Structure 1
């Protein structure tokens, strides 16, 4: 154990080594993380600044950007500091804080479900949209997403740190994650793993079923549209949502619902880097490049700054 570490600290082995090729990868990771933070912050500011974006869909999008910005801020600064300083220790409280904030992102599942419902109402019931997707309902769905994420994060953080750990406290990862931390426990964690798996089913599959239902109904409505303009607008509205859902769920299911016997530390680190660093960068790009209203707000903002 490195100097300066206490016996209760964990050691994060990290994502990259110090060869020249991995140093280039480290620079690439920092660039992606910086782009993700700037992109999500810009998305939040645009939605707040432009009155045309003061709509339910964009309010939900601002919450998604906030969750993505939190995800990047939780993992990358610590990883970068460990890589540059060489001190890879993290205290139990710091580890629990990372688990809490990362699991808080589980609320993103329900937020994506709310966004899919918003898309369904906008495409299939445009005249009844103000009633079926009212602002009070939108706010309740948003608060519910955050509440479920907080509850799941607290549960996983508290229970993960309550186990006795062996003397070897090395975590083969670049941040603390409940499944990885459970592998270090010197006690039987089978009950916790079963409960966590059940929670993952609720947090991932239940919203996923709602999302599939919404987009199945949207697809049915899409096929019955006779107007090419209406079909093009519906496709533009929902295609970006589908892309974001696909990116998020592919990584989340691979991490939290993959059987323990089929998991490897290298696979977990690669997938975790994808969903905690790369996906938060892609989300604002997908929405900005595929949404004419966001592009218009961005051009208006740039023109006001540099006339």
Structure 2
């Protein structure tokens, strides 16, 4: 097991790091601030992006949030990809590593999306094996993110919360709760977002994501687009979750229509204030 450089630092609220914000991110000084990146953009031997990332990790903790391991696919995670990911982890020593509960590869073809699947017994065995193989290769625990849903899929043997609970029991992995995914899915299916959050295995939650969404042309389908400010409904669910399970490292995600760095820091400060409020409540209890 590696000993991540920043795991002894309490992680508060963080921001997804974009190349246009490298200089601002390097210069900013805020306690408990951390940054998250997609490792696929940095799994190289050198170059300016990797150099910037190494500079920033000298000042702030990092988290790696993968988008292409395809843990729910019928095939094993690509061995070469895993070794490149491990090399990056060893190099930048992130405080957190996470991936999506989805599939994006099929019979050696990659599909640039995070696709859902029926939560069957076969899927459980496949997902658990792929997560275990990933953790064994990386030498560390990872967190798995709940998916966004757009259509009802039939053929489930497990509820989503029970599926996560069993995967966690079998592999020892953690859970990344994306509140916007819950908020969007609750509209699209629909489901009860409070009941969903009540059912998650709270002890396994390692990280929380907050993001904005968009609406399709007909105004009916909500899309997990990460290209808008965080909706007040997401903030409401976030307050509810941390009041129930306690503070967790929380990330502000923005992947499209990326605003100025100060705007992201403003959303980050809103999340940090809610975390500080909960910490103060715990201290007075």
- TM-score category (smaller protein): under 0.3
Point out the structure with the larger helix share.
1
With structure 1 as the length reference, what TM-score do the two structures score?
0.23
Report which of the two structures shows the higher radius of gyration computed on alpha carbons: 1
Point out the structure with the larger strand share.
2
Relative CO higher for 1 or 2, CA cutoff 8 Å, sep ≥ 6? Answer: 1
